[in-house]
Structure 1
Amino acid sequence: MIDLDRIRAETPAAARRAYLHNAGAALMPAPVLAAQVRHLELEAELGGYAAAAAEAGRLEGVYDSVARLLNAGREEIALVENATVAWQMAFYSLRFAPGDRILTAEAEYAANYVAFLQVARRIGAEIAVVPSDATGELDTAALEAMIDARVKLIAITWVPTNGGLTNPAAAIGRIARRHGIPYLLDACQAVGQMPVDVEAIGCDMLSATGRKFLRGPRGTGFLYVRRGLLQRLEPPMIDHFAAPWVAREEYRLRDDARRFETWENNYAARAGLGVAVDYALGLGLEAIQARCQALSARLREGLARIPGAVVRDLGRSPSAIVSFTLAGRAARDMVAEAARAGIVIGASEPTSTRIDAERRGLGSVLRASPHYYNTEDEIDRLLTLCAA
């Protein structure tokens, strides 16, 4: 059971505004902020090196926390600056040849898709977009039919940036494993709002951020790489932390996923990330998911009753990201109007998910993403504003 009073007390800004932009960057709870401030104060007092040494046990524990969150081994976890770096380190570690195929989804995120385009331009690899089924989810039967000897990667965004969609990550994983194809899962907007089990999903690599539904600091992210694949991947960039310089003409990659890290990092942010992960684990991801689903369902149902409001979400099991449009009201104008009313929402442009936007004829859409610390009253406040 979610103790909403305690959680809101530990989120002071929640008393000052209805914050419904958690798919962008959620409000950090007080313990996360305190962990960062504490480490910064240590750095100011002792210097950065001594502070890291003093907190070595706590900082090492972040790997264990993330591993528990994902049901992974700590040696399969790399901590990096953000989800994009995590995804790029995994993707650019793979070796493609002319004619190799990358399978992806219609709702793939722009940052990932431009990387596909770069590899296609540089090397001659091919991008194949798997069609969606009638619900808007990736069509797993179509995915199966598209697999041949040239497919070298399946790369999917689990919860896209808009559209409310939750792609069938585990079903995709079963197909990938059956055919022995590496599977890279962008879980940026899934982690923190639902349980994530890499063994059940069957992904080989998974990238995520701290700032969204995990309620961690900006500038934090992590990468999971399955140990069976890890030893076959050489990162696109290395330093002497990822690959110690063992002889004049030789370096040796680390045996664990930290081969994807660099020596320097933001230890204060890392401390905050660890507390954010532990905070979510303490509440329970099943309870968090249930609360998120209830609040987003209330918002969708309320929007359906407002003339001129159109919910733009897809899929059988919508996520906590509610995408919608309001007739005669531009998305950016509505975001500003909401802010004046003390309500924080966002907008998503077609360039974020160009293929899906073009297929559905979407322009800018409003994006509200409630989290477990939000209240039903806050959802109703947004609905009242939309109906005005």
Structure 2
Amino acid sequence: MTGIDVERVRRDTAGCERVTHLNNAGAALSPRPVVDAVVEHLRLEEEIGGYEAAAERADRLEHTYDALARLVGAAREDIAVVENATRAWDMGFYSLPWAPGDRILTARAEYASNAIALLQTARRHGVQVEVVPDDESGALDVDALRELIDERVKLIAVTHVPTQGGLVNPAVEIGKVAREAGITYLLDACQSVGQLPVDVGEIGCDLLTATGRKFLRGPRGTGFLYCSPRIREHLEPPFLDLHAATWTGADSYQVRADARRFESWETSYAGKIGLGVAVDYALDLGLDAIEARVTQLADTLRQRLRALPGVLVRDRGTRLSGIVSFTVDGRDSHRIAEELQAERINVSVSVVTSARWDLEARGLASLVRASVHYYNTEEEIDRLCEALSRRG
């Protein structure tokens, strides 16, 4: 199907022997090199001490910045490694200055954590949050976005691949609008990095955030923020410590120049090393090859789900990702997920409170979400569909 040696990557993935894991949009199964790197560092901390282990593995820690920069087409100075994608998004977003009357444009398919932060900022600072209409396919309408632009728009904040379905928003086209108007552009790439090629130069975003645990197959508790040098010097993070800034005098401090101003001193060093290994693993396979296999598997899953009585595939958009959302007539999504898990088939459920602007408008309280990755197989897709048929 692609250039990926599926047998090899499955041998690298211990969980493939135990479960049919179709919850990669939640947390993917880590490959053995990632787990080994994390455990090895924890063992080193156990043996010689945490500070000492960090010093001894400084080159591996620094390599993570190089790997992430290569992954998204950035410079290493543009990368901050933080605890998770939400913290990365918050650190970028809450650094932006606001004035009453400022406008934020966002997408209908936004994730709850982002939407709540937008609404909190509207309440605190008197800014306006406006949802850009979808086009006929369900993606953000770029023409409608352009028509909404005026001198009061200070931010375009969009999720690249939403949590609740296969939609891929037109990130590059949105970036063109943002650059033409000189507006800051924040892209949540939590669900796209690791399954799709993502290049910040091509996209034209000022801020990009992502996690380690999903399609990158990295450790939980890891994430990163890309911050363009174009805006970085104008952003002061919402909180600082002795890592993000230097105490220069009794009543003065200096924020560091690179993107690590968004980090804090204490972090999981084992997780950071593991994240770098996960990025290397993805880069070695090739993001184009990963996208091709993930897309093919997701297309196959959608076709087979559509053939099942009572099953409705709910994905929107013309370009689709490895996330497949569906409902079954007369059946509760949570109950379906529980029954599948009893057969060692992992899926998840997206609920209306995770994506209210989207799901509520479509009259959907919940969806079953099956998300494939390159180590999945068509036999596993068949297993999911057969299980659904038996309980239909």
CA distance in 2, matches of 1:18, 1:201: 34
Give 1:174's match in structure 2, choosing from 173, 176, 180. 176
Whichever residue aligns with residue 51 of structure 1, its letter is A
CA distance in 2, matches of 1:386, 1:170: 37
1:226-241 correspondence runs (5 A): 226-241=228-243
CA shift digits 1:256-282 (9 cap, x unpaired) = 000001111100011110000000000
Q: CA deviation at 1:162?
A: 1.0
Aligned to 1:50: 52
Give 2:133's match in structure 1, choosing from 119, 131, 137. 131
Aligned to 2:217: 215
RMSD: 0.6
TM-score by length of 1: 0.99
> What is the SS of the residue equivalent to 1:183?
strand
Aligned to 2:66: 64
> What stretches of structure 1 move > 2 A for 4+ residues in a row?
none
CA distance in 2, matches of 1:262, 1:12: 33
Aligned to 2:274: 272
Aligned to 1:298: 300
CA shift digits 1:220-244 (9 cap, x unpaired) = 0000000111111000100011011
Match status 1:91 vs 2:93: yes
CA shift digits 1:273-305 (9 cap, x unpaired) = 000000000000000000000110011001111
Whichever residue aligns with residue 316 of structure 1, its letter is T
| Number of matched pairs | 388
CA shift digits 1:158-184 (9 cap, x unpaired) = 000012110000000000000000000
> What is the SS of the residue equivalent to 1:222?
strand
Aligned to 1:146: 148
CA distance in 2, matches of 1:35, 1:312: 38
Give 1:310's match in structure 2, choosing from 309, 312, 320. 312
CA distance in 2, matches of 1:183, 1:72: 16
CA distance in 2, matches of 1:300, 1:384: 14
Aligned to 1:360: 362
CA shift digits 1:41-62 (9 cap, x unpaired) = 1100110000000000110110
CA distance in 1, matches of 2:172, 2:10: 33
Q: CA deviation at 1:119?
A: 0.7
CA distance in 1, matches of 2:342, 2:120: 41
Whichever residue aligns with residue 310 of structure 1, its letter is L
CA shift digits 1:110-141 (9 cap, x unpaired) = 00000011111111000010000000000000
CA distance in 2, matches of 1:240, 1:12: 40
Structure 2 residue runs of 5 or longer lacking an equivalent are: none
Q: CA deviation at 1:387?
A: 1.8
The alignment-based identity, stated in percent, is: 58
CA distance in 2, matches of 1:37, 1:113: 36
Aligned to 1:5: 7
Aligned to 2:334: 332
Q: CA deviation at 1:340?
A: 1.3
Match status 1:31 vs 2:33: yes
TM-score by length of 2: 0.98
